Amino acid sequence: MPRDRDSSGMRITIKFFAILRDVAGTSEMSCDFSSGLSAAEITNQLQESMPGIGRHRRMIAYAVNEQFVSPDTQLHDGDVLALIPPVSGG
């Protein structure tokens, strides 16, 4: 789970969309993490306190600072990570 930030940490804003917003109970939160984590690693840590995210994990699209990225993209202090599930409907 997110940790206390120190000189080697980073603060990330996480935005949740659609079903993930329901699972998280919020549309946005800011958390402190160790430096050098990827989008997928941050999602793994979030699962510790929000197990419901795991049910959707394989289908999540990631965006960092409004640009779609791969799960292994490394985040930096101040980044905004969006977790976007697949959308159905028309």
- The 10s digit of each residue's pLDDT in 8-62 is 799 999 999 999 999 999 999 999 999 999 999 999 999 988 988 888 888 899 9
Looking at residue 58, its pLDDT comes to 84
Rounded to whole angstroms, the maximal C-alpha distance in the chain is 46
Instruction: Report the CATH number that the domain containing residue 18 is assigned in CATH.
Output: 3.10.20.30
In a domain, 14, yes or no: yes
In a domain, 89, yes or no: no
Tally of structural domains, the chain: 1
Looking at residue 5, its pLDDT comes to 44
Look up residue 36 and give its two tokens.
């050098």
pTM: 0.87
Distances in Å between the alpha carbon of 83 and those of 4, 6, 53, 63, 68?
22, 25, 10, 7, 10
In a domain, 90, yes or no: no
Domain span holding position 71: 9-84
Q: How far apart are CA 75 and CA 38, in angstroms?
A: 6
Q: Please count the helices (runs of H) and the strands (runs of E) in the chain.
A: 2, 5
